[in-house]
Amino acid sequence: MINITRSVRSLMLLLAMMMLTQVGWGQTTLFSDNFGTSRGSTYTAAAGVIGNDANWVISRSGTDWGAKIDGGRLDITNDASIQSNADGWGFGYQDINTISGWNTTLSSNTGTITWEFNMRQIRTDPSGFGLNSYGVAFVLASTNVTAATAGSGYAVVLGQSGTTDPIRLAHFNNGLQGTLTNIITSNTASLADFGADYISVRVTYIPSNNTWELFLRNDGSSSFTDPTSGTLTSQGTAVNSTYTSATGMRYVGGYWQGSTGSTQTAFFDNVYLKKTVTVPAAPTIGTITPGDGQLSVAFTAGSDGGSAITDYKWSVDGTNYTTRSGTSSPIVITGLTNGTAYTVRIRAVNAIGDGTVATAGSTATPRTTPAAPTITGITPGNNQLSVAFTAPSSNGGASITNYEYSINGGTDWVTPSPAVTTSPLLITGLTNGTTYDIQLRAVNSAGSGVASSTVQGTPVVPPPSGLLAFILRLQRRIPEPTSLGNCI
């Protein structure tokens, strides 16, 4: 029966994970503690780490205030030692500045932030946060560990003047004893007045629109129930941005303040800080640089959706995507056909799945330099050569824009201007009677191509034509006189 139950639970978990993947979002736990490991059975009655814990710290005011982590919870008391009880407070906190995925400016986080925790204090009518009054709070985010009188932030608080004590989501300035302003006050049936009850709390915050929501459950008078299980009731939503853009929101933990009563204690348990994560936003495609059978795609990353980008995928047909490991720009796409135009698409990948697709604004065409042209004949002229040729068998995937020539077997190259794109190519400024080693090469947007084979040519003075040629021929036919007598 146990194995069947475990199988059903495993199947349900698998289905839930599949559903999260399908919708493109999920929730990741940035930090949690159920205080399951005792850090010492006696109270730490001085500011510093709590017991032998490496993460939880107590700051305090009052000679007998202290904290301990024991019995599966965090306790803060005004009666930590043999010293006389005194007015004061204690703040058992963690510094979450370096937790991966957390931004200490609340509004700069991506995805919904969720805090879940249990809290309780022992008084039936806690009087609030004035000096020497009893009040309990869980600090969601604060800029200072002197939580009573310094720093600003957000907290869930219990305790106020009068006989009714609702749970309140509030923001504060100059500590919890400074200016405390309610954002949401509990108001639903059986959740509008609390004394020494065990309470489950959930708070959500959406950075994109600064919307807060408070959820509560009264767990009764005997023990905590993990706030991640069962149902908590919403007490409403509110928009507040008073300190969401403040920097340094790095301290989270339980707070208890009071006076000189004997063994006045507050308890905290099952603390979670979570963030809803989504698939990444679309990257921005920049310059695409064509190469020989490849495209180099520069890009800038979009939002990671709250979970680190692990890979990128690319496609040139909009259907089939190939994973490129790594996250740096550019992505080099190989195995393409020169001369074929491609529409490039890329998308980022994180732990939730494939992100939104970015499509290049225009197509890109891989190309290389042209193959060699073929010289088919050279016609000499006066100080010039006319070079007939046929185009290369391949233009490299890009139109030929010019032909360059060499007259010394490829040592030096000349680029004609204006450009020559059709046969023949006329080379001028040569010396008659000098033999030249002629080569041609085609040029496209990728550069100069392969040189043709060498063909020699020699410029000469062309034979005379027309009347001049007739006179010269006539001169060659009339014999010169041998003496004056022959002329009489």
Question: Same domain for 223 and 313?
Answer: no
Residues of the chain falling short of pLDDT 70: 1-25, 465-488
Flag whether 481 is in a domain. no
Question: Same domain for 96 and 156?
Answer: yes
Flag whether 227 is in a domain. yes
Question: Same domain for 72 and 211?
Answer: yes
Flag whether 269 is in a domain. yes
Reported pTM: 0.67
Question: Same domain for 201 and 327?
Answer: no
CB-based contacts of 171, cutoff 8 Å, min separation 6: 152, 153, 154, 155, 180, 181, 183, 240, 242, 243
Of the three residues 233, 258, 278, the one that is the final residue of a domain is: 278
Question: Same domain for 233 and 115?
Answer: yes
Question: Same domain for 60 and 170?
Answer: yes
Flag whether 366 is in a domain. no
Question: Same domain for 134 and 39?
Answer: yes
CATH number of the domain that residue 259 is part of: 2.60.120.200
- Give the integer Cα–Cα distance in Å for 243 and 256: 22
Question: Same domain for 255 and 395?
Answer: no
Total domains in the chain come to 3
Domain that holds residue 328: 284-359
CATH number of the domain that residue 317 is part of: 2.60.40.10
Residue 11 has what pLDDT?
A: 41
> What 3-state class would DSSP assign to 329?
coil
Question: Same domain for 118 and 212?
Answer: yes
- What b/e readout covers 157-177, taking b as 16+ CB neighbours within 10 angstroms? bbbbeeeebbbbbbbbbebbb
Flag whether 42 is in a domain. yes
Flag whether 485 is in a domain. no
Question: Same domain for 172 and 296?
Answer: no
Question: Same domain for 136 and 264?
Answer: yes
Flag whether 6 is in a domain. no
